[in-house]
Structure 1
Amino acid sequence: MSGAPLTDPALSALAALSARLGAERSLIQGAGGNTSLKRGDAELWVKASGTWLAAAERQPIFVGLDLAELRRRMAADEAEPAMPARLDPAGALRPSIETTLHALLPHAVVVHVHSVNAIAFAVRRDGPELVAERLEGLRWAWVPYAKPGLPLTRAVQARLQGAPDVLVLGNHGLVVGAGSTEAAEALLAEVERRLAVPARPAPAADLPALERLAARSAGRYRPARLAEAHAAATDPASAAAAGRGSLYPDHVVFLGASPLPVLPPERAEPWLAAAGGHLPALLLVEGAGALLRADLGAGAEEMAACLGLVLPRLDPAAPLVFLSAGQEAELLDWDAEKYRQSLNTAEQ
Structure 2
Amino acid sequence: MATTVDAQELAALRTLSAAIGDDPHLTQAAGGNTSLKAGDTLWIKASGTWLRDALTDDIMVPVAMGPLVEALERRDPSADKPQAFAIDALNPRGLRPSIETIVHALMPQRVVLHVHCVEAISLAVQADCEIEAGRRLQGIAWAYVPYRRPGLPLAQGIAERLGQGVDVLILGNHGLVVAAETVAEAERLLHRVRSLLARPARQTPIPDIAALAALADGSGYRLPADIEAHAVALDADSRRIAEAGSLYPDHVIFLGRGSVVARPGEKVADVVARLGTNPVAVLFPGAGVLMRGDASSGADAMQRCLADVTARIDTTARLNYLTAAENDELVNWDAEQYRQRLNAAG
TM range (shorter): over 0.9
Q: AA paired with 2:147?
A: Y
Shift of 1:266: 1.2
1:87 aligns with 2:87: yes
1:153 aligns with 2:155: yes
Partners of 2:15 and 2:54 within 8 A in 1: yes
Query: Which SS does the other structure have where 2:178 is aligned?
Result: strand
Query: Which SS does the other structure have where 1:321 is aligned?
Result: coil
1:22 aligns with 2:21: yes
Q: Could you tell me which residue of structure 1 aligns to residue 167 of structure 2?
A: 165
Q: Which stretch of structure 1 is more off in the superposition, 169-178 or 7-16? A: 7-16
Q: AA paired with 2:158?
A: V
Partners of 2:216 and 2:268 within 8 A in 1: no
Distance 2:275 2:129 in 1: 40
Shift of 1:216: 4.8
Alignment of 1:98-177 (within 5 A): 98-177=100-179
Q: Could you tell me which residue of structure 2 aligns to residue 251 of structure 1?
A: 251
Query: Which SS does the other structure have where 2:97 is aligned?
Result: coil
Query: Which SS does the other structure have where 1:247 is aligned?
Result: coil
Shift of 1:346: 6.0
Shift of 1:176: 0.2
Q: Which stretch of structure 1 is more off in the superposition, 56-65 or 73-82? A: 73-82
Distance 2:271 2:321 in 1: 27
Partners of 1:114 and 1:172 within 8 A in 2: yes
* Divergent runs of 4+, >6 A: none
> Which of 64, 70, 75 is the matching residue for 1:77?
75
Distance 1:247 1:276 in 2: 21
The verdict on how the C-alpha distance between 1:239 and 1:268 changes in structure 2, with shifts beyond 3 A counting, is farther
Query: Which SS does the other structure have where 2:42 is aligned?
Result: strand
Alignment of 1:177-326 (within 5 A): 177-217=179-219, 219=220, 221-258=221-258, 260-264=259-263, 266-269=265-268, 271-272=270-271, 274=273, 278-326=277-325
Query: Which SS does the other structure have where 1:158 is aligned?
Result: helix
Shift of 1:178: 0.2
Partners of 2:88 and 2:94 within 8 A in 1: no
Shift of 1:299: 0.6
Partners of 2:149 and 2:326 within 8 A in 1: yes
Shift of 1:163: 2.9
Q: AA paired with 2:159?
A: Q
Distance 2:276 2:318 in 1: 35
Distance 1:274 1:172 in 2: 33
The verdict on how the C-alpha distance between 1:264 and 1:276 changes in structure 2, with shifts beyond 3 A counting, is closer
Partners of 1:216 and 1:269 within 8 A in 2: no
Q: AA paired with 1:11?
A: L
Partners of 1:216 and 1:273 within 8 A in 2: no
Shift of 1:265: 5.1
Partners of 2:86 and 2:96 within 8 A in 1: no
Distance 1:210 1:80 in 2: 48
Partners of 1:44 and 1:64 within 8 A in 2: yes
Distance 1:97 1:143 in 2: 17
Q: AA paired with 2:107?
A: L
Distance 1:205 1:325 in 2: 32
| Alignment gaps of 5+ in structure 1 | none
Q: AA paired with 1:315?
A: D
> What do residues 150-186 of structure 1 show as CA deviations (whole Å, max 9, x unaligned)?
0000000000123310000000000000000000000
Shift of 1:119: 0.9
Distance 1:270 1:11 in 2: 50
Query: Which SS does the other structure have where 2:189 is aligned?
Result: helix
Distance 1:273 1:134 in 2: 43
Shift of 1:78: 2.0
Distance 1:276 1:232 in 2: 20
Q: Which stretch of structure 1 is more off in the superposition, 77-86 or 119-128? A: 77-86
- Larger helix share, 1 or 2: 2
